[in-house]
Amino acid sequence: MAVHMSEIVLGAMLFGTRLTEQESFAVLDRFVERGGTWIDTANCYSYWLDPAGQDGQSEEVLGRWLKARPGLRDRVRIATKAGHGQVNGQPEGLSAAAVRSAAEQSLRRLGVEHIDLYWTHVEDRSVPLEETVGALGELHAAGVVGRLGVSNHPAWRVAQARDTARRLGVEPYTALQLRHSYLQPRVGAAIPETAHRFAWPETLDYVRTEPGLDLWAYTPLMNGAYVRDDRLADAFDHPGTARKRAALSEVARDLGVNANQVVLAWLLGGDPAAWPIVGASRLEWIDEAMDAAELKLDAEAWRRLDVQL
């Protein structure tokens, strides 16, 4: 059971790299105008798009945006991540020292006094869970971070980490961020984004039955694949995809919306409900996503979308 009602989250990965500062500000402004609250970024965004391999651009843009709009900090919530920030061309990892250093740098770049949701971005099995969980608990106890989240970890490691937090008497993870959408790839199929972890049925079952744990879904719109056939990766080429796309098209047509909006409504109202992270780079895409947040699927729509693979 989720501890918070799910909502659309703005993904800020491309701010300061693929999107200019002016473009980023415009997207952020429209998101807030439409009632958006949560903005998700990471300390590593986006080193792979920077000619020098530098990270932190997204956080810096968010920091300048907040500084240019006094009072807005009270209306928005910032989520950022540690673990994949670059140190001499390598991920920083999740040692206690790395987690503390990453938090300090993120606070500086964002220009804020606390982070509302702090994620461990990727696994680091070279570090004992007790060390990472303990460091995160210290940051929470000090008021540096609010909620704690875990991204791109298997469910069994999340369960271990939550048990470890309880044993240590510190704040546990209360959010899990994975790649999740209406379409699913073939099990075992290779995808271009090798670091991505999917929310498989057993993961969804874990979240559904684990009190106090929310599911956040990245790449919910499949990089445009729901509205452009050429965007669908080969890993999704299987009979279940064809059946699901047909059902999706029918429901979208009957509701007078597009497939993206049905997918977002499906995620928001699902079991478990998910928090879709939408990396919109155009104002009209912000409007599309926020309109989807108000879309309610009736029982017949849910029945039609429940296509068995």
Give the list of residues 6+ apart from residue 241 with CB closer than 8 angstroms, or none.
Answer: 183, 232
CB count in 10 Å sphere of residue 248: 22
The amino acid that residue 103 corresponds to is A
Q: Compute the radius of gyration of the chain from its Cα atoms.
A: 19
So what's the pLDDT on residue 187? 84
Query: Which CATH code is given to the segment(s) 9-85+172-305?
Result: 3.20.20.100
Q: Supply 145's token pair.
A: 């971070």
Per-residue pLDDT in tens (0 to 9) along the chain, 309 residues: 344 689 999 999 999 999 999 999 999 999 999 999 999 999 999 999 999 999 999 999 999 999 999 999 999 999 999 999 999 999 999 999 999 999 999 999 999 999 999 999 999 999 999 999 999 999 999 999 999 999 999 999 999 999 999 999 999 999 999 999 999 998 888 887 878 999 999 999 999 999 999 999 999 999 999 999 889 989 998 999 999 999 999 999 999 999 999 999 999 999 999 999 999 999 999 999 999 999 999 999 999 999 876
Domain boundary assignment for the chain: 9-85+172-305
Q: How many other C-beta atoms are found inside a 10 Å radius of the C-beta of residue 90?
A: 9
Catalytic residue among 45, 173, 182, 226: 45
- H-type helices in the chain, by residue range? 21-33, 57-68, 96-110, 129-141, 155-168, 201-209, 239-255, 259-268, 283-292, 299-305
Q: To the nearest 10°, report the CA torsion of 23, 27, 32, 38.
A: -110
pLDDT at position 1 is: 37
Pull the structure tokens for residue 85. 């920030």
Q: Which residue shows structure tokens 């007790």?
A: 130
Annotation marks residue 45 as catalytic = yes
In sequence order, what DSSP letters do the residues of 190-253 get, joined into one string? --S-TT--B--HHHHHHHHHSTT-EEEEESTTGGGTTT-GGG--GGG-SHHHHHHHHHHHHHHH
